[in-house]
Chain A
Amino acid sequence: MSTTAVRRPPPPFAQEHEDFRKVVRRFVENELRPRAQEYEDAKWFPNEVFARCGKLGYLGLKFEERYGGQGGGYVADAVWTEELARCGSGGLAAGLGAHTSIALPPIWKFGTEEQKQRWLVPGIRGEKIGALGITEPDAGSDVAGIKTHARRVEGGWLVNGSKTFITNGVRADFIVTAVKTRQEGGHHGLSFLVVERGDGVHSSALEKLGWHASDTALISFDDVFVPEENLLGEENQGFYLIMANFQWERLLMALGSLGGMQASFERTLEFARERRAFGKPIGSHQAIRHKLAEIATTIEVGRAITYDALRRFVDGDDAVREVTMAKLATQRAAFDVADSCLQIHGGAGYMKEYGIERAARDTRLGPIGGGTDEIMKEILGKTLGL
């Protein structure tokens, strides 16, 4: 008789991670996805979502138990990120992701014990929400061009300048902010200050193509006093803090794209089975069938390269090349997949109801955020000795 084979989880995932994946998937399907449209329309999602995720342990998966984390390391966080993307709202996933994956890690890695108690512990519980402030109107990947500056005053600094495209920028209780602490700035003149919401911190939400549920903001600092104890890491060593989390951020973007692509693909496959044209399901027409075969292959290629990069990263290998390739291979692909899925849906794809138009808008950010595709190619060019 024929039996059905059990498929083992692909490295670096263990069976427990796959069990956890099912749990997260159920949570996302039950509690996030049904609200996605509402959050998108409101251009906001309530802070209670952070608290709920914090209660379930999802904001502290990789952090140690002594800080209230789950002690699960990067692999558990990878599962969460991939599954979270299935919520159907890039903005919601981005808000939660920016908090746990880019705002908290610098505090976790470089913060003093006191700083961890102040921001990491309540951050893991979802009681305080963080944002990472690096990008400025005139400085993105070119971080040496950062102009926001911190002037030494008694007991701390006075910060002036502005940050833009900051995820959680409106709601954040604290902003892990890159500032110039030397007049000349540059790689050796940057520091990280944790700026808490208060006098002189002004945020305004930005209108965007996608990620509507995210309060992506322009933040301006107007003579904001930041006390001494809010310096993260060493003064003028901020550049290393920026670089330290890049690989993880890019891996997470690749993982998020995989989850998003998979969700769009599954919905489209279902649609292609149900929607009939010329007497049969549209998936039975060769043009559509081939398109779906291509999409499935694109996702599998992305998955292979991303999981491989993740495995190397988790093993502690130098994985810059593979991580860069994983991001490059998945971000434009996710947009293309969403576009193909929209096309297969025809007119329905252009309607809000199916969530496919949102996927197409949301995924357009991928080749831009966390270092553009062009920057990825520059990094890879260097690894080729060019």
Chain B
Amino acid sequence: MKICVLVKEVPDAAVEKRIDHSTGRMDRSGEKNLNPFDTHAIEAAMQIKEGGAVPVEEVVAVTMGPESAVRALHKAVSLGADRSVHLSDEALAGSDVVATGYALSKTLERESPDLVLLGQQSDDGECYTIGAVVAEYLGMPSLTQVIKIDVEEGKLRCERQAEYGYDTVSVQLPAVISVGDAINEPRYPSLKAIMGAKKKPLDALAASDAGVEASRVGLDGSMVECGDFTDPPQKEPGQIIEDEDTAETVEKVVAWLEERKLI
């Protein structure tokens, strides 16, 4: 089996998320990190590989992103991926979800994976949909928000988190599966793995190398058009009741609730 894991470089969780009004895109400057959800996808791949239920020849980390995204690939490799693929091209900048999914699917086609894993959401865009888009382009079944994977003969038995509980779904391979963070606890990469990550093979591809049609990607190739962005309206400041006399405070709170017919 060959597993490809889609990974993404995102602004570090500690960095405040902002929209750049001039481009309509997210401001991705500052500290960056490998999307935390993707670390669970890599761990899921490693557990399948190490589980022994099915021989896994290779785990390949795949990303699309600017030059700096190479660091996300290094992290993915330090977590256990055997090698990585970096799709990077000016022409891809500004791609929306559909265009990104298309470009990634072209990159994945070159690898012919039996299984594509990814985190269910990115920590920046949080669109939750890239896995489904990739699956559509690859013509593979797609499962999202998976929190358990068991290997069965030529299939995977997955539990996915649903609003009302859990779905148990059997999926034929090849498939695209996005995982939630409840699926596992990613391992601690060793120092040796971190130091050796740069030495693992990395294929750098331009859009044309991956057979991506330029007209279908980038700002112009995307159907989403960003209009104006405005900050969410400021909330009215709440009423603060200073607790000087607790009995009195309780009376005030009760009166406030009664006034609004909440009790």
A120 to B201 Cα, complex, angstroms:
33
Q: Which of A3, A6, A24, A57 contacts B27 (CB 8 A)?
A: A3
Q: A72 within 8 Å of B by Cβ?
A: yes
Cα distance, A53 to B195, chains bound together (Å): 18
B78 within 8 A of A: yes
B24 to chain A, nearest CB (A): 12
Contacts of B66 in A (CB 8 A): none
Which A-chain residue is minimally distant from B68 (CB atoms)? Answer: A6
Q: Is the CB of A19 within 8 A of B78?
A: yes
Q: Given the complex, which residues of A lie within 8 Å of B194, measured CB to CB?
A: 16, 19-20, 23
> A24 — which chain B residues lie within 8 A by C-beta?
188
A1 touches B30 (CB 8 A): no
Interface segment out of the listed B15-23, B48-56, B142-150, B246-254 = B15-23
**Interface on chain A toward B: helix, strand, loop, or mixed SS?**
loop
Mark contacts of B8-36 with chain A using CB atoms, 8 A cut-off: 1 yes-contact digit, 0 otherwise: 00000001000011100001011110000
Which of A1, A26, A56 has most B Cβ within 10 Å? A1
Min CB gap B67→A, angstroms: 13
Q: Please tell me the number of chain B residues within 8 Å of chain A, measured between CB atoms.
A: 23
- B190 CB-CB contact with A under 8 Å: yes
- A72-B189 Cα distance, complex, nearest whole Å: 14
CB distance from A350 to the nearest CB of B (A): 25
Does B40 make an interface contact (CB < 8 A)? Answer: no
CB distance from B59 to the nearest CB of A (A): 19
B259 at the interface (CB under 8 A from A): no
Nearest A residue to B242 by beta-carbon distance? A279
A20 pairs with B191, CB closer than 8 A? yes
Contacts of B188 in A (CB 8 A): 23-24, 26-27, 56
Within the complex, the shortest CB–CB distance from A375 to chain B, in Å, comes to 33
- Interface residue A383 (Cβ < 8 Å from any Cβ of B): no
Identify which of B20, B31, B185, B189 contacts A1 (C-beta below 8 A): B20
List the A side residues contacting B83 at CB < 8 Å.
none
How far apart are A369's CB and chain B's nearest CB, in angstroms? 27
Which residue of A1, A5, A30, A72 is within 8 Å of B195 (Cβ)?
Answer: A72
Interface residues of A in 18-70 (CB under 8 A from B): 19-20, 23-24, 26-27, 30, 56-57, 61, 65, 70
A76 CB–B CB distance under 8 Å: yes
Partner of A76, one of B21, B30, B191: B191
CA distance A322 to B40 in the complex (A): 43
Minimum C-beta distance from B150 to chain A (A): 26
| CB of B77, distance to nearest CB on chain A (Å) | 12
Whether B192 lies near A3 (C-beta < 8 A) is no
Contact of A56 among B20, B31, B78, B190 (CB under 8 A): B190
Shortest beta-carbon distance from B221 to chain A in Å: 25
- Rounded to whole angstroms, the CA-CA distance of A5 and B32 in the bound complex is 11
Closest 8 CB pairs of A and B: A4-B30, A3-B29, A70-B191, A57-B190, A72-B191, A70-B192, A4-B29, A23-B188
Question: Can you list 6 A-B contacts (CB < 8 A)?
Answer: A1-B20, A19-B75, A23-B188, A30-B185, A71-B195, A72-B191
